[in-house]
Structure 1
Amino acid sequence: MTKELPEWERRVQTLLKVELTKRNLTYKQLSEKLTEIGVSESEPNIRNKLARGTFSAAFFVQCLAAMGAKEVKLSDG
């Protein structure tokens, strides 16, 4: 049985997954892009962090930077 994530963890998990989807990137490609900016994260580590929904703000920003994101929309409003 899968445990439901708390709201804020679910929201940040979704934000990162949306950014990956918008750019049509796999976890492997994200791992490669992170390596290019000097951050060592394996594909399985990224997959696990996103599945758990618990990761540091630094990891979140590193992923966004590696993907080339300039802004993130926090809500539909």
Structure 2
Amino acid sequence: MPTQTEWEKQAANLLKAELKRKGVTYAQLVERLAGIGISEKEVNVANKLSRGKFSAAFMLQCLSAVGSSQLHLD
């Protein structure tokens, strides 16, 4: 079974891949997050994705902000 660190890497890689697929930079992500009422700094986003340490809520916010088809909230 994967360790906590392996799960964190998978989560970060999934989010990075979705950003790349959508052609969204970290700076653009920060702007889009602001558009849905989430205040983040680009350096904080970069650190979260680099470390792989972020909440499920942050991941959902990012997916929503980039208009991911992977996210289905009702």
Common fold by TM > 0.5: yes
- CA RMSD, aligned part only? 1.3
Tell me the alpha carbon deviations over residues 4-26 of structure 1, each in whole angstroms, 9 at most, x when there is no partner: x8210010000000000001111
1:70 is displaced (CA, Å) by 2.3
Q: Which runs of 5+ in 2 are unaligned?
A: none
Give % identity.
51
Residue number in structure 2 paired with 1:31: 30
Q: What does 1:1-77 correspond to in 2, within 5 Å?
A: 6-71=5-70
Distance 2:33 2:54 in 1: 15
Tell me the alpha carbon deviations over residues 38-73 of structure 1, each in whole angstroms, 9 at most, x when there is no partner: 00011111001001100000000000000001216x
More helix by share: 2
TM-score normalised over the length of structure 1: 0.84
TM-score normalised over the length of structure 2: 0.87
Distance 2:43 2:19 in 1: 16
Following superposition, which runs of at least 4 residues in structure 1 exceed 4 angstroms of deviation?
none
Distance 1:53 1:16 in 2: 10
Residue number in structure 2 paired with 1:75: none
Give the aligned residue type for 1:36: G
